[in-house]
Amino acid sequence: MTTAPAILPQWAQVLDTDDFRPRGRLTPQAPLGPRTWFRVGGAAELLFQPASAEDLAQVMKRLPLEVPVLPLGACSNVIVRDGGIDGMVIRLARGFSTITRDGDGLVVGAACLDMTVAEHAAEAGLSGLEFLAGIPGSIGGAVAMNAGAYGSDMSAVLDWVEVVTRDGRLLRLPAASLDFGYRHATLPPQSVVVRVRLNAMVAPPAIIRQRIDEIRTAREAAQPVRARTGGSTFRNPAPDESQRKAWELIDAAGCRGLTVGGAQISEKHCNFMLNTGNATAADLEQLGDTVRQRVHDHTAVTLRWEIKRIGRPATHRMGESA
pLDDT band at residue 215 using 50, 70 and 90 as cut-offs: very high
- Mention every residue, 6+ apart, whose C-beta is less than 8 A from residue 321: none
Is 183 tagged catalytic? yes
Q: Are 147 and 183 in contact (CB under 8 A)?
A: yes
Q: How far apart are CA 165 and CA 191, in angstroms?
A: 4
List residues bridging with 176 in a β-sheet: none
Higher pLDDT pick, 4 / 191 = 191
Asked about 54 being catalytic, the answer comes back as: no
Query: Do 46 and 60 contact (CB within 8 A), yes or no?
Result: no
pLDDT the model gives residue 5:
53
**Per residue in 103-141, pLDDT tens?**
999 999 999 999 999 999 999 999 999 999 999 899 999
- C-beta pairs of 62-68 under 8 Å, 24+ apart in sequence: 62/14, 62/15, 62/20, 62/168, 63/11, 63/12, 63/14, 63/15, 63/88, 64/11, 64/14, 65/166, 65/167, 67/11, 67/12, 68/190
- 91, 183, 294, 312: which one is catalytic? 183
94 is annotated as an active-site residue: no
- For 8, the 3-state DSSP assignment is coil
Q: What are phi and psi of 283, to 5 degrees?
A: -60, -50
Write the DSSP symbol of residue 182: T
Q: Place 28 in a pLDDT band, splitting at 50, 70 and 90.
A: very high
User: CA 111: distance to chain centroid?
Assistant: 11
Above 60 in pLDDT, residue 317? no
Give Cα separations from 289 to 84, 137, 255 (angstroms).
20, 24, 12
Catalytic residue of the set 127, 232, 242, 266: 232
For residue 121, give Cα distances in angstroms to 101, 132, 202: 9, 10, 10
The pLDDT value given to residue 226: 85
Any bridge partners for residue 102, and if so which?
Answer: 105
Residue 321 has pLDDT above 60, yes or no: no
Q: 130, 162, 285, 306: which is the annotated catalytic residue?
A: 306
Please tell me the distance from the alpha carbon of residue 159 to that of residue 157, in angstroms, as a whole number: 7
